[in-house]
């Protein structure tokens, strides 16, 4: 493979690149008579592997790997609060150094190009740990940073971290006034116009932006500027008639307003924001079960006078310790989030589809744990749906304020597979989950991940929002999971389900694929939508299904697997469906093809053979590639359990067929049972 100018690989056509990076000792599946036998052996090993990794309480959780900004910002937080200790700094530095690329940079996903902000934050973290700026690995990093434009070219969030120590000027950052907290929901740019993850981050950052704190810098960072004497060259404004130009001028106005804003109003806004933050702290001390809002909330409250021994701060810091994953070599990696509910429902689905008895004790224990995680109180979603009764599940251990639609759909599908000793309890939980998901349908007929109609065009235009998605519009993958769940619940012909199906059919790409919002990318979207459409009664002969099959067959790698590089989010023409074969992406493609009736096809046979041949002796698969997303391209995720649950699901369906085939309820049958369950207080 040849190298691009950014030091990444990818100049060759993606299919050729993929073939050069995957195993070459896998025999072609064509004519191999023992593919089913190989699949059965793989399923047996994978089942044992997965069962052995269940927690005693009934849940599964794989590591959630992102990038070194999590580790760097953890050290910066501790430095800001004055609690950074040598052992933590060295353990984090060991991990960060291990992630550095040959060219001195840090990437945000495996095999990806060097990324400027990640490299700056990693460099600063290593300096906090004592690495000298003239050390070879540090000098290589700083030279690359300068060549890319230095700190001035970094994203806003990186420069906010540097401003906390005087390494960047607050006045050279976009303004974020705390008075936003007073905007009613009908005013553009109110906090509920932002996706829940952005909302939880922006509210505390309004306090930080208003306070503009500066702690003494432990060292200068002149080596990261292209011109230390003029670190922030003035950039011309975009045309006033453009959206960018309009919001740039709005930011200038907000900077001017800062000087004349009534102090009493500002104090009231910050106090209101603080109450909003505290009300959303979870029982375990975290905020929303994710690390970034927790970090910024702790800083914001500390700036308002909450000392480190205050229960809110103390529990918040304790919660962050639970995001640390300690490696055998002593390195310390910080997870951005933890995924036990998601991992547990996917593991349950995989094991049942692989043939494990539905009343197996470990499946019943998993169901018990999932039932205990049901959310039965309103959260921020109720701002847009005030009359909707609560129900559903979140992604994390503790996140009662933000259940999500995707997890709820998959938990229902998992619970429906298990023969539980208390069926009324299961039916009640499922009924509430179905009702809540139906109530969270957006007006276009589709579903987002956390909120209803979270589609305002304005948040993404703010100069402050230069990184990742800050809104939560409906997506094909989430909508597909809801449609599949509704079909299993006997609601395939419900008008709300049909609207979701119509939306999915309209969203199909011209090449036959679907865009994947929460997984990489077109393979994930297509692997989610095709099984949902078929489950909902769309025949395998439907043109949309046939186009999807043709596309999947066209992007199958020469080794028999499927893969897709994250660069498909930036260049779909070149990268859609292209990349090194991975276990999870091969499984997604197989799940779609099997749903479309392609079990006897050569594509399926070769894909199954690839999964069987690449399985390790212990029943696991290796997958260094990132196949999950937080924000497409900007924030990528390697879910370490994906490489186990999805191949097991695909192989199980290859051997056993659709788990609900021939036993789906009559239209509306389970829905008709729901009032009975609810009448019993379920």
Instruction: Render pLDDT for 434-465 as a digit per residue (tens, 0 to 9).
Output: 999 999 999 999 999 999 999 998 888 777 77
Q: Which of 155-164, 286-295, 617-626 has the lowest mean pLDDT?
A: 286-295
Quick check: 250 pLDDT over 90? no
CA distance 15 to 626: 18
CA distance 42 to 36: 10
CA distance 66 to 468: 14
User: Residue 319 burial by CB count (10 A; 0-12/13-18/19+): exposed, middle or buried?
Assistant: buried
pLDDT at 193: 94
Averaged pLDDT, 99-126: 96
Report the DSSP beta bridge partners of residue 560. none
pLDDT digits (tens, 9 = 90+) for 320-357: 999 999 999 999 999 999 999 999 999 999 999 999 99
Structure token digits, residue 333 = 């990696």
Averaged pLDDT, 508-536: 97
pLDDT at 1: 31
Domain spans of the chain, in order of start:
28-62+339-455+469-679, 65-229+251-334
Averaged pLDDT, 253-277: 87
Express as a percent the part of the chain with pLDDT over 90: 81
pLDDT at 238: 73
pLDDT at 468: 76
Catalytic: 406?
Answer: yes
Report the DSSP beta bridge partners of residue 631. 635
CATH architecture of the domain 65-229+251-334 equals Alpha/alpha barrel (1.50)
| Nearest Cα to Cα of residue 611 among 645, 577, 576, 587 | 587
Q: Say which of 400, 406, 472, 559 is annotated catalytic.
A: 406
**CATH class of the 28-62+339-455+469-679 domain in this structure:** mainly alpha
pLDDT at 670: 62
Give me the chain's average pLDDT, please.
Answer: 90
Phi/psi at 141 (nearest 5 deg)? Answer: -65, -45
65-229+251-334 matches 28-62+339-455+469-679 in CATH topology: yes
pTM > 0.85: yes
Element (H, E) at 125: helix 116-128
Structure token digits, residue 455 = 């589609």
Q: Do 539 and 492 contact (CB within 8 A), yes or no?
A: no
pLDDT at 428: 97
Averaged pLDDT, 629-654: 96
pLDDT at 472: 95
Res. 671 pLDDT band, cuts 50 70 90: low
What is the C-alpha end-to-end distance of the chain, expressed in Å? 59
């Amino acid at each position: 493979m040849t190298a691009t100018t950014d030091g990444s690989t990818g100049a060759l056509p993606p299919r050729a690149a993929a073939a050069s990076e995957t195993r070459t000792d896998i025999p072609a599946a064509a004519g191999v008579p023992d593919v089913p036998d190989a699949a059965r052996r793989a399923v047996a090993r994978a089942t044992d592997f997965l069962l052995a990794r269940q927690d005693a309480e009934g849940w599964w959780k794989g590591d959630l790997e992102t990038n070194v900004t999590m580790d760097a910002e953890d050290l910066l937080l501790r430095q800001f609060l004055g609690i950074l200790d040598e052992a933590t700094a060295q353990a984090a530095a060991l991990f960060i150094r291990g992630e550095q690329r040959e060219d001195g940079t840090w990437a945000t996903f495996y095999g990806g190009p060097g990324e400027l902000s990640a490299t700056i934050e990693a460099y600063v973290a290593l300096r906090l740990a004592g690495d000298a700026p003239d050390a070879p690995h540090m000098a290589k990093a700083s030279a690359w940073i300068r060549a890319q434009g230095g700190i001035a070219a970094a994203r806003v969030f990186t420069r906010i971290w540097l401003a906390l120590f005087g390494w960047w000027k607050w006045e050279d950052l976009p303004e974020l006034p705390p008075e936003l907290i007073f905007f009613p929901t009908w005013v553009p740019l109110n906090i509920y116009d932002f996706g829940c993850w952005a909302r939880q981050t922006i509210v505390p950052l309004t306090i930080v932006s208003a306070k503009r704190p500066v702690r003494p810098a432990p060292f200068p960072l002149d080596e990261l500027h292209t011109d230390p004497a003029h670190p922030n060259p003035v950039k011309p404004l975009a045309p006033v008639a453009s959206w960018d130009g309009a919001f740039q001028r709005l930011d200038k106005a907000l900077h001017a307003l800062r000087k004349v804003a009534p102090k009493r109003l500002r104090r009231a806004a910050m106090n209101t924001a603080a109450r909003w933050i505290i009300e959303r702290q979870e029982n375990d001390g975290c905020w929303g079960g994710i690390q970034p809002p927790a970090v910024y909330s702790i800083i914001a409250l500390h700036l308002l006078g909450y000392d480190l021994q205050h229960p809110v701060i103390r529990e918040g810091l304790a919660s962050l310790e639970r995001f640390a994953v300690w490696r055998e070599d002593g390195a310390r990696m910080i997870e951005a989030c933890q995924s036990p509910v998601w991992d547990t429902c996917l593991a349950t689905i995989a094991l049942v589809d692989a043939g494990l008895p539905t009343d197996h004790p470990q499946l019943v224990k998993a169901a018990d744990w999932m039932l205990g995680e049901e959310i039965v109180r309103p959260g921020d979603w109720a701002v847009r749906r005030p009359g909707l009764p609560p129900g559903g599940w979140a992604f994390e251990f503790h996140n009662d304020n933000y259940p999500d639609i995707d997890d709820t759909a998959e938990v229902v599908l998992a619970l429906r597979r298990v023969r539980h000793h208390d069926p009324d309890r299961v039916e009640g939980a499922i009924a509430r989950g179905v009702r809540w998901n139906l109530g969270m349908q957006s007006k276009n007929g589709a579903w987002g991940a956390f909120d209803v109609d979270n589609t305002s065009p304005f948040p993404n235009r703010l100069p402050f929002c230069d990184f990742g998605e800050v809104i939560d519009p409906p997506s094909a993958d989430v909508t597909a999971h809801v449609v599949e769940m509704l079909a299993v619940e006997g609601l395939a012909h419900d008008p709300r389900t049909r609207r979701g199906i119509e939306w999915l059919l309209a969203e199909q790409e011209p090449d036959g694929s679907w865009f994947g919002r929460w997984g990489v990318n077109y393979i994930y979207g297509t692997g989610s939508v095709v099984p949902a459409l078929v489950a909902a009664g769309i025949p395998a002969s439907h043109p949309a299904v046939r186009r999807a099959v043709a596309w999947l067959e066209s992007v199958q790698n020469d080794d028999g697997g499927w893969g897709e590089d994250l660069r498909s989010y930036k260049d779909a023409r070149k990268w859609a469906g292209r990349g090194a074969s991975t276990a999870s992406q091969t499984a997604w493609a197989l799940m779609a093809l099997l749903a479309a009736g392609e079990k006897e096809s050569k594509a399926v046979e070769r894909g199954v053979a690839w999964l069987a041949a690449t399985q390790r002796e212990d029943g696991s698969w290796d997958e260094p590639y990132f196949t999950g997303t937080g924000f497409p391209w900007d924030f990528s995720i390697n879910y370490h359990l994906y490489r186990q649950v999805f191949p097991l699901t695909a192989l199980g369906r290859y051997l056993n067929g659709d788990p609900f085939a021939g036993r789906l309820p009559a239209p509306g049958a389970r829905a008709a049972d729901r009032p009975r369950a609810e009448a019993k207080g379920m």
